[in-house]
Chain A
Amino acid sequence: KAGVTQTPRYLIKTRGQQVTLSCSPISGHRSVSWYQQTPGQGLQFLFEYFSETQRNKGNFPGRFSGRQFSNSRSEMNVSTLELGDSALYLCASSFLAGGNTGELFFGEGSRLTVL
């Protein structure tokens, strides 16, 4: 079956702009989590959605937001971009929510560069 699909794969924005990233989970998976990966910081948890509800949220400012649709597809939005937002944004899906199984299936990521 198809894996987790993230679009776009690469994008360049300038400071102050906003960006929307999209994630299509594996068919049947109802949980979608978002992570930010930067050099030296590993994978930092942004938020998790399960059945259209935000279950958990990481320690990121309110400029970072997300949502999940009824078909489990998810989007994340970053407003008023800053240089420090340059990162690889990874989406992961799972059938159960949160840490119930631990096994997340990751997409290839969306690499955002802020100039």
Chain B
Amino acid sequence: DQQVKQNSPSLSVQEGRISILNCDYTNSMFDYFLWYKKYPAEGPTFLISISSIKDKNEDGRFTVFLNKSAKHLSLHIVPSQPGDSAVYFCAASNRDDKIIFGKGTRLHILP
């Protein structure tokens, strides 16, 4: 039962363009959503989060959008840089419960 779904295993984007990574969830009880980034041979690192009371959160080049009615969130990276090439994990939780991760999307930034 995949409660957090990242349907695109990989994505290739030209350097300088916008990268959009998508995530869908099924559990309406989730009230906190996060994105993590993972490089090979390293543990995931926290990137950005959003509470269910908001529909947008921005941090530098990274913006997360939340559409609660569609149970969908997306991560926008503008402009994309070579160092952004990594696996991105979407995650969700409700307070006092475990954090559930998606399967990840591998982002390739092309020169």
**A contact set with B: CB distance below 8 Å:** 4, 33, 35, 40-45, 48, 56, 58, 90, 92, 97-100, 102-109
A98 touching B43 in the complex, CB below 8 Å, given contacts A33-B98, A42-B103, A104-B99:
no
Instruction: Give the shortest distance, in Å, between A105 (CB) and chain B (any CB).
Output: 8
- In the bound assembly, the distance between CA atoms of A100 and B102 in angstroms comes to 19
Interface residues on chain B, size class = 20 to 34
Residue with the greatest number of chain A CB neighbours at <10 A, chosen from B34, B43, B45:
B43
B13 within 8 A of A: no
Task: Please state if A98 and B101 are interface contacts (CB–CB under 8 Å).
Answer: no
Where the two chains meet, the residues of B that have a C-beta atom closer than 8 Å to any C-beta of A are 6, 32-34, 36, 41-46, 49, 89, 91, 93-104
Q: Is the CB of A4 within 8 A of B98?
A: no
- Name the contact of B100 in the complex, choosing from A45, A103, A107 (C-beta under 8 A): A45
Which residues of the partner chain A approach B6 to less than 8 Å between Cβ atoms?
A: 42
Contacting B32 at CB < 8 Å: which of A44, A102, A109? A102
**Which of the residues B41, B42, B45, B98 comes within 8 Å of A98, measured between beta carbons?**
B98
Contacts of A102 in B (CB 8 A): 32-34, 46, 49, 91, 93, 99
* A-B pairs with lowest CB-CB distance, top 4: A99-B93, A106-B43, A42-B103, A43-B101
A103, B34: Cβ atoms under 8 Å? yes
Residues of A within 8 A of B103 (CB): 40-42
Which residues from B are CB-within-8-Å of A103?
34, 46, 49
